[in-house]
């Protein structure tokens, strides 16, 4: 058997895919049953990078054993291999209640994966882990043969690291628009604008107080304080230095920057949706082409068997 894996790099979109898969199944079936899927990525020495994943059809037999739909797995693997030629099959993923322990069913999945890969891995995702918990809910297992019993397969944990690409980070920022409490999360731009508005409000309040103080001194309502008047004079000199004509231009530039930021966000979202649509169309086109080829071969075979009915090509 090949050497074991030293580090597993998991892209955040893979964790998002598994979480979405589990959520959809739970909503549809009104229970938290396990979900299964295949992992795609690259090998780099003893490190692996998990970049993509797709769902599997797995059923439980009467004797509580797993039954993987091999035909469905082969079809999906072929389609993904045509679309993502640089990604290889790495292993399976499964959701669970405890991602730290390896079960007998996990060993069964690992043996299934060894049919298609020399050194597969198994990713366990604990969907019931609290969000606020510091514990990582993803665990990757590597397999090795027991030296005392060659028929026994041992699963051992592999260090995990979550990685993000720029496009993935933009998508995750959109998904994280709302905080855990359900309140809208503030962006960096909104925080900066809020700070500027607060500063302007404080300046306006200070100018109003200074104006009222000067009026009160002029009307002999309060005693004159030269130090306060000096500070007010300094403030007036600073305000006089400011160019009043540049304020509309600055406001226009700030408004333009905000609109460009919103436009960039919309363009990024449209670009991501377009890429996903193109990928799906490619998969459907290849699936249709395979179906047409299969129908043509069947028709050709029948025409050879019954030339009087179908004719010969």
Where along the chain do its domains lie?
A: 7-172
Other C-beta atoms closer than 10 Å to the C-beta of 142 total 22
Q: How many helices (H) and strands (E) does the chain have?
A: 8, 10
d(CA 238, CA 233): 9
What are 145's two structure tokens? 């043969």
What are the pLDDT digits (tens) for 21-52? 888 888 888 777 889 999 999 888 788 899 88
Please give the pLDDT value at position 308.
Answer: 58
**CATH number for the domain running over 7-172:** 3.40.140.10
d(CA 298, CA 68): 28
What are the pLDDT digits (tens) for 52-102? 899 988 888 877 788 888 898 998 888 888 888 888 999 999 988 776 777
Residue 171 gets which letter from DSSP? H
């Amino acid at each position: 058997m090949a050497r074991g894996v030293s580090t597993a790099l998991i892209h955040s979109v893979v964790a998002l895919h598994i979480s979405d898969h589990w959520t959809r199944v739970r909503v549809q079936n009104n229970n938290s049953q396990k979900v299964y899927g295949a992992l795609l990525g690259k090998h780099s020495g003893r490190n692996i990078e998990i970049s993509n994943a797709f769902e599997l059809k797995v059923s439980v037999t009467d004797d509580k054993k797993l039954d993987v739909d091999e035909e469905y797995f082969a079809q999906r693997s072929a389609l993904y291999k045509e679309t993502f030629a640089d990604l290889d099959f790495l292993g399976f993923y499964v959701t669970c209640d405890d991602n730290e322990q390896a079960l007998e069913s996990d060993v069964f999945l690992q043996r299934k994966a060894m049919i298609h890969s020399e050194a597969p891995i198994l990713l366990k995702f604990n969907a019931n882990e609290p969000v606020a918990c510091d514990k990582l809910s993803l665990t990757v297992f590597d397999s090795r043969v027991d030296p005392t019993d060659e028929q026994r397969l041992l699963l051992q944990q592999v260090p995990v690291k979550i990685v993000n690409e720029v496009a993935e980070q933009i998508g995750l920022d959109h998904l994280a628009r709302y905080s855990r409490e359900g309140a809208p999360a503030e962006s960096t731009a909104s925080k900066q604008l809020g700070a500027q508005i607060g500063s302007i409000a404080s300046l306006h309040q200070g100018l109003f107080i200074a104006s009222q103080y000067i009026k009160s001194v002029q009307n002999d309502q309060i005693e004159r304080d030269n130090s306060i008047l000096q500070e007010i004079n300094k403030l007036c000199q600073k305000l006089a230095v400011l160019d009043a004509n540049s304020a509309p231009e600055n406001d226009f530039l700030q408004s333009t920057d905000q609109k460009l930021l919103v436009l960039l966000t919309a363009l990024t979202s449209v670009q991501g949706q377009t890429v996903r649509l193109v990928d799906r169309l490619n998969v459907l086109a290849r699936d249709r082409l395979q179906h047409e080829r299969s129908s043509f071969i069947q028709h050709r075979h029948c025409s050879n068997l019954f030339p009087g009915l179908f004719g010969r090509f």
